[in-house]
Amino acid sequence: MADVLHGMYALKESKYATNEYFQAMVPRMKAFIFPSVPRMDFEIEAFNKAVLYQIEHEQKLAETLNGQVMPQGVKSFDIGNFSMSFQDGSFDQRLTKKTICPSAYGILLEAGLMYKGVEGRLPCCGVD
C-alpha cells in the first residue's frame, strides 16, 4: 500500500501549508475518508490536494475570527436573553461534511475517496 506523501510542490501551493500543518491534517483527513485509503497515484494526489485546501480553509477561517476559537467541549452558551447551541463536532478537531472545505470535499469525491468501502476505483478522467 502506498503511503500518503507530499512533495515540495505541495508546500509551495499555499502560504498556509507548512510541513507541521500538513502532518497534523493528514490523520484528520484519513479519519474523514475512512475506510477509504488513497492507494493509487491519482488518489494520493487528490488526498494531498484536499489536505492543502482544508489547511487553507481553516487558516482563513481563523483569520476571520481573529484567532478566537471556541473552547473544546462547548455545546451551548447564553448571553443575556440570547442562547445558542451547537451540534457535536462543530468546534472540535473532527472533520465532518459541515466543517470540511467544500473544495476539499469535491476533490475527495471526484477521486472516489468518499465512497465508503468501494474497491476498484478508477480515475474520473479514464485510463490510457
Query: How confident is the model over 119-124, as a mean pLDDT?
Result: 53
Burial class (CB in 10 A: 0-12, 13-18, 19+), 116: exposed
Give the residue with greater pLDDT, 17 vs 6: 17
Residue 70: pLDDT band by 50, 70, 90 thresholds?
Answer: low
Query: How confident is the model over 30-49, as a mean pLDDT?
Result: 93
**CB neighbours of residue 109 within 10 Å:** 14
Query: How confident is the model over 89-114, as a mean pLDDT?
Result: 85
* Residues 109-118: tens digit of each pLDDT: 999 999 875 5
Q: CA of 50: how far to CAs of 77, 80, 90, in Å?
A: 32, 41, 20
pTM (two decimals): 0.68
Residue 92 reports pLDDT greater than 50: yes
Q: What is the 3-state secondary structure (H, E, C) of 11-76?
A: HHCCCCCCHHHHHHHHHHHHHHHCCCCCCCHHHHHHHHHHHHHHHHHHHHHHHHCCCCCCCCCCCE
Residue 10 reports pLDDT greater than 60: no
Residue 128: pLDDT band by 50, 70, 90 thresholds?
Answer: very low
